[in-house]
Amino acid sequence: MTNETGLCLPPLDQVDTPIFKVPSEACDCHAHVFGPRKKFPFILDRSYTPPEASLNAYQNMHRKLGITRAVIVQPSIYGNDNKATLDAIKQYGDENARGVAVVTNNVSEAELEMLHTGGIRGVRFNLLFKGGVQLKDLEYIASKIAIFNWHIQLLIDVSELQSIADRLRRLPNEIVFDHMGHMPTNRGVNDVGFQTLINLIEEGHAWAKLSGSYRTSTASPSYKEAEVFAHALISASNKRMVWGSDWPHPGLYDNMPNDGALLNALNDYCPSDTLKKAILVDNPAQLYGFNAPLEGREHGK
């Protein structure tokens, strides 16, 4: 499949059927919603331009997979304007959706209160695409959001993690790493950066999303090269793992993964039904506060 228009590819309409029984209240912990563009314009300085990917299309994919909860992550193409993400959370349903925002160092306490009430539970630092917040603001932003018990979400290549690991250890927040650390699988699990991620998880500082295997592995459509990384992460702490589809898979121009196949990969990562329930239900409920009211602060650790 190729794209001649300059836009990223849209997600596939076809969704493979799950090969295991998806537990009730399963959560997709990483997705984006794009558009409508007239209502939510993209920033000019961006790394990619996606076609519109509506909340209705996202929920339709979830219905096919038996997923009923979602975490909407602010994409880089909106910069620090979180309106589209907040709108998607509200439309999905406040009880079953949470979000991760992007804020700058001049964010006010009133705005943080508004974001919290709107379902935001973390702030994303995206170091791989234009439109993200830079690490120079990490400690300051982390201190401002700590009173809400929000986490820091990092989109980085963890082969470079060792240089900032001690900074992360000193933060008053949980740290969540996108896409199993977003490191090319050909570097191997013994890479010092990936092992630093393992250490942070074992120490109780970090979480990882079992997502984005197609971004780090070239072995489509199964992306089996990522399996050893998933096993290593789960072994570090199965209580600090969540799963995400990364729908609608922005920034792709040649091949598009099947969301059903990405979910089915969990059966290879952890055949146990108990463990799959932890990753799909229990761990997301803890990290994103699905069983807590939206309003009101949750004081940090």
* Catalytic residue set: 246
Start-to-end CA span in the chain (Å): 47
AA letter at 216: T
Residue 220 vs residues 13, 18, 28: alpha-carbon distances, Å = 18, 18, 21
Residues 6+ apart with CB under 8 A from 265: 213, 222, 223, 226, 227, 230
Q: What is the DSSP secondary-structure string of 121-142?
A: EEEEEESSSTTPPPGGGHHHHH
Rounded to the nearest 10°, the torsion over CA 112, 116, 120, 126 is: 10
For residues 61 and 236, is the Cβ–Cβ distance under 8 A?
no
